[in-house]
Structure 1
Amino acid sequence: MTTTAILMMLLAMGTIWGGLVVSVIWLVRSDRRVAAREAARAGGTGAGTTRGEG
Structure 2
Amino acid sequence: MSATAIVMLLVSIIIVWGGLIASIIFLRLRPEVEDLYENPDLVREDEERAAQPHPFRDT
Q: Which interval holds the TM-score relative to the shorter structure?
A: 0.5 to 0.7
Looking at structure 2, the residues matched to 4 and 23 of structure 1 have their Cα atoms a distance apart, in angstroms, of 28
TM-score under structure 1 length normalisation: 0.55
Q: How does 1:28-47 map to 2 (within 5 A)?
A: 28-31=28-31
The structure carrying a bigger helix percent of its residues is 1
CA distance in 2, matches of 1:25, 1:2: 34
Q: Among the aligned pairs, what percent are the same residue?
A: 44
Number of aligned residues? 33
Give the Cα separation in 2 of the matches to 1:29 and 1:5: 36
Tell me which of the two structures has the higher relative contact order, counting C-alpha pairs closer than 8 angstroms and 6 or more residues apart: 1
Task: State the Cα RMSD in Å.
Answer: 1.6
Deviations 1:5-48 (A, max 9, x none): 000000000000110010000000012xx5xxxxxxxxxxxxxx
Bigger Rg, which one: 2
Aligned to 2:12: 12
What 5-or-longer segments of structure 2 have no aligned partner?
34-59
